[in-house]
Amino acid sequence: MKTRLAALLAVALIWLISGCVPATATTDATSVPMATPTTFLFFAQTEVADAVETAVSEDTTAVPTVASLFTERNTPVPTPTYTPFPTLAPLRPDFSSSDTITKTIFDDDLNENWTILEDTGMTFNVASEEPVNSGQRAISFTPEVDYGALYFTVRPETNTTYPFNEVIGIDFWLNSGDDFLQLDELAIAVIGSNDYYYWVADDDSVEFPAGETFSETRLYFLGLNRSIPPDTWVEVYLPMDSLIYDPEYRFVTGFYLKNDEGFANTLHLDDVNFVMVASKDATPVPTPFMTPTAEGTPGPAEQPSAASQTPVPEGTGDGATADCQVSPPEGWVAYPIQAGDSIANLAFLAGASLDTVLSANCLTMNSVLSVGKEIWLPVLPATPVTPTLPVTATAPITATTSP
C-alpha cells in the first residue's frame, strides 16, 4: 500500500514540473525582450556610428559584432601646399662689397654688348611682360628640342670686355613657369676664348686635355635645396671657381642655359648680371696673342717697332672730352682710323685696356671716330678688320649635360 502511494506522488510531481516550465519560459520571452549590447567604434565618424546603432535596434535578435579598432575611416585627404618649405637662396658674394661690381647683361633690355643666338633649339622673347622679377620686362624661353640652349654671346662690336680672371660669377633670377622645375632639368655653362674677347663660332682656342667641353652645371649644384614650385622666382648664382673641370682662359665670351632631355616647359629669366672684381682698368691682354685676319681666322699678331712711327695726332679727336690733354704713354704710336674700326677692337689688338686707350686719347665711348683721324695706341694693329658674327652656334652645344 505504501509503495503504490509513493509511485502516485512521483507521477504527480513529474506532471506538475513538465507542465509549468514551458508556460513560464514563453511568458518571460514575450513580456521582457532581451536588450542587444553594442560596441563603440573608436575610429568611426558620427554618421557611421549612427548607422550601426540603427541597424542593431531594428534586429533585436542579431548577434552583436565587436568592431575592429583599425576600422578604415573616411578621413579627408590632406592637400599639399605649393611652398611647404622655402627654396633657399644660393651662396654668393656680397654685392655691396667694395671689392666687387656687377655688369648687367639683362635688366628690362638686353645689354647692347650682348646678343642671343638664334637656331639653338630654343624660342625666346626678350620683352615678356609677365611674369617679371623686377622692372617691366623679362626673358621667356621655351625649349623646342632636347638639349636646346638659350645662348648669350658677346658681340664683336662690344665696348667692354670680360677677362676670365676678373669675372667672379654669374647671377640671375629664374622663374619655373606653370609647373615644378626639378633641379636636374636645367644646366648652365660659361664659354671662353684665348683668341678673342667676343664670341666666335667654332672657336677652339681653349684646350681641354681629353677633348672635353665647357662644364654644364645643373641647378642642384648651385645651392638650391629643393625643386622650384610653379610660378616662383629664385636667385641662381654660378661661381666661376666652382668650374673646376674648366681650364683657365683669357676672356669670357658667352654663357648658355640648356634643358635636359624631355623638358619643354616655358621658363622666365630676369636680372642677369656678371659679378666682377672691382678695378678701374680691365686686365691688359697679354702678348703675344692671336688677332683676327681679314678672312676671320686667327693668325700671329705683328708687333711693329714704335721707333719707326712718329706721327702726331691732330687735336683731341671727334667727341673728345672737354679740358683733356692728349697724353699717350712713352713708346705709343699714332694710328690712322680706317673703315670698320672700333675703339674696343683696336685696344684689344694693341694689347691695352679699353679705358687706358680712351683716357690717353681724351675720348669717351660716345666719341665718333672719323676715317683718317689718328689716335695713339701701344702698337699698330696688324689687321683692323673685325670679323662678323656668324648666325648659328654648333661647337659649344653638346647632347650630354654634366656637372
pLDDT of residue 348: 80
Domain membership flag for residue 86: no
**Closest to 269 (Cα-Cα) out of 149, 128, 393:** 128
Cα distances (angstroms) measured from residue 323 to each of 282, 312, 332: 25, 19, 22
- Average pLDDT value for residue range 227-249: 91
**Residue 137 · residue 371 · CB < 8 Å:** no
Supply the CATH number for residue 359's domain: 3.10.350.10
Compute the distance between CA of residue 213 and CA of residue 192 in angstroms, rounded to an integer. 11
User: Would 134 be classed as within a structural domain?
Assistant: yes
Helix boundaries (H) for 32-129: 46-58
Same domain, 189 and 233: yes
Single-letter residue type at 330: E
Which amino acid type is present at position 396?
Answer: P
Torsion (CA) 194, 199, 204, 209 in degrees, nearest 10:
70
Q: Could you tell me if 70 and 165 lie in one domain? A: no
Q: How far apart are CA 294 and CA 386, in angstroms?
A: 8
d(CA 87, CA 103): 26
* In a domain? residue 244: yes
251-301 pLDDT, tens digit per residue, is 999 999 999 999 999 999 999 999 998 864 444 443 333 334 434 433 333
Q: Has residue 174 been placed in a domain?
A: yes
Residue 289 inside a domain? The answer is no
Asked if 200 and 295 touch (Cβ cutoff 8 Å), the reply is: no
Question: Which domain covers residue 43, as residue numbers?
Answer: 33-79
SS3 3: helix
Residues 146 and 260 in one domain: yes
Residue 68 lies in a domain: yes
Q: Are residues 151 and 220 in the same domain?
A: yes
Same domain? 134 vs 223: yes
Burial label for 149, CB within 10 Å (0-12, 13-18, 19+), is: buried
Q: What is the DSSP string of 28-55?
A: HHHHSPPPPP----TT--HHHHHHHHHH
Burial (CB < 10 A; 0-12, 13-18, 19+), residue 292, is buried
Question: Residue 71 carries which side chain, given as an amino acid letter?
Answer: T
Please indicate, yes or no, whether residues 239 and 355 belong to a single structural domain of this protein: no
The pLDDT, as a whole number, for residue 343 is 79
How confident is residue 342, by pLDDT bands cut at 50, 70 and 90? confident
Q: pLDDT at position 226, please?
A: 87
235: helix, strand or coil = strand
The residues, ordered by sequence, that sit 6+ positions from 168 with a Cβ below 8 Å of its Cβ are 93, 100, 239, 240, 275, 276, 277
Same domain? For 246 and 107 the reply is yes
Mean pLDDT, the chain, rounded, equals 73
Residue 330 clears pLDDT 50, i.e. is over it: yes
Last residue of a domain, one of 277, 295, 321: 277
Asked if 231 and 317 sit in the same domain, the reply is no
Structural domain count of the chain:
4
Q: Based on the domain organization, do 135 and 44 belong to the same domain?
A: no
Burial of 156 (0-12, 13-18, 19+ CB in 10 A): buried
Q: Retrieve residue 257's grid coordinates.
A: 642655359
Would you say residue 285 lies in a domain?
A: no
Euclidean distance between CA atoms 61 and 242, whole angstroms: 80
| Closest listed residue to residue 355, CA positions, set 193, 196, 159 | 159
Cα dihedral sign for 320, 325, 329, 334?
positive
Residue 101 grid cell: 661690381
Confidence category of residue 380, pLDDT binned at 50, 70, 90 = confident
Beta-sheet pairing, 267-277 with 216-218: unpaired
Q: Is residue 45 part of a domain?
A: yes
Percent residues over pLDDT 90 in the chain: 34
Instruction: State the pLDDT at residue 8.
Output: 73
Report the distance separating Cα 303 and Cα 229, nearest Å. Answer: 57
**Both 271 and 245 in a single domain?**
yes
The residue with cell 622679377 is 133
Residues 239 and 313 in one domain: no
Alpha carbons within 13 angstroms on the beta-carbon side of residue 299 total 14
Cell 702726331, residue located: 312
CATH at 258: 2.60.120.260
Please count the residues of the chain: 403
Highest mean pLDDT among 107-111, 337-341, 343-347, 360-364: 107-111
**pLDDT one-digit tens code per residue, 359-371:** 888 887 667 778 8
User: Which residue in 135, 234, 249 sits closest to 186, CA to CA?
Assistant: 234
User: Residues 276, 100: contact at Cβ < 8 Å?
Assistant: yes
Domain end residue (candidates: 277, 292, 327): 277
273 and 353, same structural domain?
Answer: no
Q: Where is the domain boundary, 259, 277, 295? A: 277
